[in-house]
Amino acid sequence: MAAPAAALPVTYSPTTALLVVDVQNDFCHPDGSLSLPGAAGALPTINAHVAAAAAAAAPVVYTADWHPPVTPHFVTSGGQWPVHCVADTWGARFLDGLALVGDAVVRKGVGGEDGYSGFGARVVVGAGGGGSAAGGRGGGRWPRSTAAGGRWWTRA
């Protein structure tokens, strides 16, 4: 059961945003390749934050590790990490039960880079996971990393 909004330590508004980071099977499910024990137990609190942010018309943005099958990031190609969050696989999918609202998903690591930060990512898709532009309430902008030239992501 989700924590009541009144018990949350933050207050959301249209001028704040919630960033939900990498709540994916390979990180959160007990069978995931990089699973953190007990990570799925945070889901009720995460969902309470998503509900509170959505109720306050605050943007909710999700990040997702989204690697190609072969990348120097993986130990199988000389990297340090086991194979994880390969695009369009069970491990890359959001954990069952994660509340998804129609704002944006920022995919990281899509070109074979490590993809540790959602702020320099190159792909934004709808919260349902498909399409090339973010869905949602529209109208807002999120700054892209200044290291990436200061360009803007714009919601459709």
Which tens digits make up the pLDDT trace of 58-67? 999 999 999 9
Asked if the model's pLDDT at residue 89 lies above 50, the reply is: yes
For residue range 125-151, what is the model confidence (pLDDT) as tens digits? Answer: 665 544 333 333 333 333 333 333 333
- β-partners of residue 143 are 152
Round to whole Å and give the CA distance between 15 and 18. 10
Check pLDDT > 60 for residue 110: yes
Q: What's the rounded Cα separation, in Å, for the pair 114 and 65? A: 9
Query: What does the pLDDT average to over 72-101?
Result: 94
pLDDT at residue 117 in the model: 76
Domains of the chain: 18-124 (3.40.50.850)
Contacts of 96 (CB under 8 A, 6+ apart): none
- Residue-wise DSSP of 17-85: -EEEE--BHHHHSTTSTTPPTTGGGGHHHHHHHHHHHHHTT--EEEEEE-B-SS-TTBGGGTSSB-S--
Which residue in 72, 70, 63 sits closest to 116, CA to CA? 63
Rounded to whole angstroms, the Cα distance separating 156 from 154 reads 6
- C-alpha distances (whole Å) from 154 to each of 37, 38, 88, 113 are 36, 35, 24, 23
Do 25 and 31 form a contact (C-beta atoms < 8 A)? Answer: yes
pLDDT tens, position by position, 90-108: 999 999 999 999 758 988 8
Q: What is the pLDDT of residues 6-41, one digit of tens each?
A: 578 889 999 999 999 999 999 999 999 999 999 999
pTM value is 0.74
Predicted confidence at residue 12, as pLDDT, reads 94
The two three-digit tokens of residue 105, written as one number: 């998903």
